[in-house]
């Protein structure tokens, strides 16, 4: 029982040190002016400094899109496709 308690304590200590850095991460929001400036600055995503993702459905995306959009990933698929970003 002591060995189990010790192992569990080590695991919990590790998680306690590691998880806060993940949980506290917050998204960075752009203003409209910052978005326009980035899109005007560069035509390639690596040059503009951010990735613009259209999260509408493919049908909505086909009806019109923002020039400079790097990806179209339906918001319902975002969790499964986030690696593409």
pLDDT tens readout for residues 20-56: 555 555 667 778 888 777 777 765 555 666 777 788 8
pLDDT at 7: 61
| Cβ(51)–Cβ(71) below 8 Å | yes
Dist. CA 66–CA 52, nearest whole Å: 9
In the chain, beta strands by DSSP E? 53-54, 71-72
- Average pLDDT over the chain, rounded to whole? 69
**Token pair for 56:** 């509408």
**Mean pLDDT across 15-24:** 54
- What is the pLDDT, as a whole number, of residue 21? 53
Is residue 66 pLDDT above 80, yes or no? no
57 vs 25: CA distance, rounded Å: 27
Kindly report whether the global pTM for this prediction surpasses the value 0.85: no
Specify the pLDDT at position 47: 65
């Amino acid at each position: 029982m002591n060995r189990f308690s010790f192992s569990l304590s080590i695991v919990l200590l590790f998680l306690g040190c590691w998880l806060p850095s993940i949980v506290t991460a917050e998204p960075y929001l752009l203003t409209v002016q910052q978005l326009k400036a980035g899109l005007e600055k560069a035509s390639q995503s690596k040059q503009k400094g951010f990735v613009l993702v259209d999260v509408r459905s493919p049908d909505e995306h086909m009806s019109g899109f923002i020039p400079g959009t790097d990806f179209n990933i339906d918001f319902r698929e975002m969790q499964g496709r986030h690696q593409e970003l």
